[in-house]
Amino acid sequence: MPVLGLIRDVYKEREPLRGVTVAACLHITTETANLALLLKAGGARVHLCASNPLSTQDDVVAALWSEYGIPAYAYHGESDEDYYRAIDRVLQEKPGVVMDDGADLISRLHKKAGTSLGSVLGGTEETSTGVLRLRNMAEHGVLRFPVIAVNDAYTKHLFDNRYGTGQSAMDGVIRATNLLIAGKVVLVAGYGWVGRGIAARARGLGARVIVSEVHPVRALEAAMDGFEVATVANAARVADIIITATGNTSVVRKEHFALLKKGVILANAGHFDVEIDVAALRKVATRARVLRGVIEEFVLPRRKKVYLLTGGRLVNLSAAEGHPPDVMDMSFANQALSVAHLAKNARRLDPRVYPVPPEIDLHIATLKLRAMGLKTDELTSEQEAYLKEWRLGT
């Protein structure tokens, strides 16, 4: 993670986070550990809890405690009760800055008023689902501090959501099933940046890809990107693998179960486990059993078997290791620089959702290009002048 390394060198020297307590609710992976070390190098006290019960890497938690003295309250497969207990535990530290991935920590903080709301200067949010929830809170006048939407930075969603999830979601499906993707029919539900990435990677692996999408412009884009576009109901009849990536609830639901092809693999790549209606699937099934750890087999009426991966939780982090470090490098550079921005400026900001300052986004792109050894041209003075000259034409 070379960009994090470069920022870490600067933070070590300048300590822009000295005296700041950061409570971070993130997927606890090796990449997150690297971010935590960088924040610590910048002078912060860092306390971590998990943003999903199935994404925690237990060896990372152990190393954070024993090698680096960074408290991380999480274990793989934790119960809902322990998940929220861990969030409450990091909030006891009276954080100045909170970092979230999905907005569970910030939502908890606002629901349990009187906890440590008073100490919080501001927050950051990693993912589109969390940004949506936070914008909802701001619109309802509930949000009590400024939050930076890290997800919306170009150097985050164009790369992490598209190439990161595109690769890691397919990685999760492949690790869980060991299926050959070539020749399969893959239905991708949702054509946001995540859906675009998964569809492209599935096609690259040789699948025939169908996209379902409710937004007319996105559906049109999928069609012109060369994908078949169909409703979930129509595509369900032919799909061998269905991957949801909509950020919405009950995308594959009771009315679709009767239509599913025999042997279909159901997986979710959205933040929450609501996109496949698992409760309804359990009700309809005559039998269910766990196979190969992360695969559950359901027998539906007429003895049709279908397979659900990791209980409908996000497949890239629960069946694989999430995005590779190369891409988390940019996402977490946005986090690190946004935390320092908040530590300096949050007192002057209203309680709203803010974009990552554009100069941070550009700086990260520049550092990443440099780290990749790529050189780019610069505008000549003639070109700069041309761009400002409205009189010139044909």
Q: Give the interface with ligand ADE as residue ranges (CB under 6 A).
A: 26-27, 29, 31-32, 317, 322-323, 328
Tell me how far, at minimum, the Cβ of 51 lies from ligand ADE, in Å. 8
Q: Is 338 helix (H, G, I), strand (E, B) or coil?
A: helix
The residue among 44 and 229 lying less far from ligand ADE, judged by its C-beta, is 44
Supply the angle between the helices 128-139 and 104-111 in degrees, to the nearest 10.
30
Task: Give the dihedral sign, CA 283/287/289/294.
Answer: negative
Are the beta carbons of 192 and 251 closer than 8 angstroms?
no
Task: Quote the CA–CA distance of 327 and 279 in Å, as a whole number.
Answer: 34
Which residue's CB is nearer to ligand ADE, number 8 or number 184?
8
- Closest CB to ligand ADE among residues 184, 323: 323
Shorter beta-carbon distance to ligand ADE: residue 212 or 310: 310
Which residue, 266 or 330, is less far from ligand ADE as judged by CB? 330
In terms of CB distance, is 161 or 177 closer to ligand ADE?
161
Q: Among residues 90 and 285, whose Cβ is nearest to ligand ADE? A: 90
Q: How far is the CB of 317 from ligand ADE (least distance, A)?
A: 6
Give the list of residues 6+ apart from residue 88 with CB closer than 8 angstroms, or none: 108, 112, 115
* Closest approach of ligand ADE to the CB of residue 118, in Å: 29
Give the Cα separation of 388 and 383 in Å (integer): 9
What is the β-pairing status of strands 287-291 and 228-229? unpaired
- Extract the tokens encoding 342: 């908040």
DSSP 164: I
Short-list 341, 333, 270, 365, CA closest to 123? 341
Minimum CB distance to ligand ADE smaller for 28 or for 276: 28
| Residue 51 to residue 105: CA distance in whole angstroms | 8
> How far apart are CB 340 and ligand ADE at their closest, in Å?
20
CA 233/CA 55 separation, integer angstroms: 30
Q: CA–CA separation, 22 vs 99, rounded Å?
A: 7
For 157, what's the count of Cα atoms within 13 Å in the CB-facing half-sphere? 19
Q: Work out whether strand 287-291 and strand 295-300 pair parallel, antiparallel, or are unpaired.
A: antiparallel
**Smallest gap from residue 121 Cβ to ligand ADE (A):** 23
For residue 321, which phi and psi values (nearest 5 degrees)? -105, 20
* Chain residue whose CB lies nearest ligand ADE: 322
Unique residue bearing structure tokens 């190369």: 326
The upper half-sphere exposure of residue 122, i.e. CA atoms within 13 Å in the direction of its Cβ, equals: 25
Cα(221)–Cα(346) distance, integer angstroms:
38
**Can you tell me whether residue 50 is helix, strand or coil?**
strand
Residue placing its CB nearer to ligand ADE in the complex, 29 or 268: 29
Measured from the CB atom, the residue of 52 and 107 that comes closer to ligand ADE is 52
Min dist. Cβ of residue 34 to ligand ADE (A) = 9
* Closest distance of CB 126 from ligand ADE, Å: 7
